[in-house]
Chains A and B, each alone.
Chain A
């Protein structure tokens, strides 16, 4: 899997939009970009996944530039409950030969009133 780099932490206030950027310079042609959210003492939860351009679902948007060497998770109007660690993963499980899902250190988002 391609190595990823994210900020260690970010702070925000309720109602603001939060953008977390992930760098993945050596992303491969077949790789997808996936984001997870983790609350303390729980397993990570899938948020969103994309391959190129923009993907939007009910909780977030994912922006991927044409060169795909980075991606940005956008959380609109965050609330206190969005305080969590956010992980960016790059890779694919579709190739054979033992594909790993390797998580980086993630970004700790803290939302305050």
Chain B
């Protein structure tokens, strides 16, 4: 089935360690996004990419890094510089510049807990 897959669903890490969250899509979408969601809050944009080998910072990029080497994949690394990394992370994709509108498809999320 076509869709967007995030893994793992739950992730535990020790403070000070970098951790990489996976996001893969087989929808042939150009655009991909990473969001962070804290309890009771809305989604905040971390990074987004409109095309392979290109990405832009969102509203809360500090302490995070991404890569977009393949159209299907947009991994997010939470670095030790991120002061409060425990959160629910969501990846999304959309067709991108080829089509108007803002319809995006989301993965099921990764809940990261740093201890």
Residues of A within 8 A of B (CB): 1, 30, 32, 34, 36, 41-46, 49, 85, 87, 89-96, 98-106
Contact = CB atoms under 8 A, between A and B. Distances in A.
Closest 10 CB pairs of A and B: A43-B106, A94-B100, A103-B43, A105-B42, A32-B101, A98-B56, A34-B102, A92-B100, A89-B102, A43-B90
B94 interface: yes
Interface of B: 31, 33, 35, 41-45, 48, 50, 56, 58-59, 88, 90, 92, 94-109, 111
Contacts of B108: 42-43
A46 B103 CA distance: 7
Nearest to A104: B42
Contacts of A43: 90, 92, 106-109
A49 B103 contact: yes
B100 to A, nearest CB: 4
8 contacts: A41-B88, A42-B109, A43-B108, A92-B100, A96-B97, A101-B45, A101-B104, A103-B45
A93 B107 contact: no
Contacts of A93: 31, 94-97, 99-102
A98 to B, nearest CB: 4
Given A103-B35, A103-B42, A98 B48 contact: yes
A36 to B, nearest CB: 8
Contacts of B58: 100
Contact of B94 (A1, A85, A95, A101): A101
Nearest to A103: B43
A62 to B, nearest CB: 12
Contacts of A85: 42
A106 B41 CA distance: 9
B109 A49 contact: no
Contacts of A102: 45, 59
A112 to B, nearest CB: 20
B113 to A, nearest CB: 13
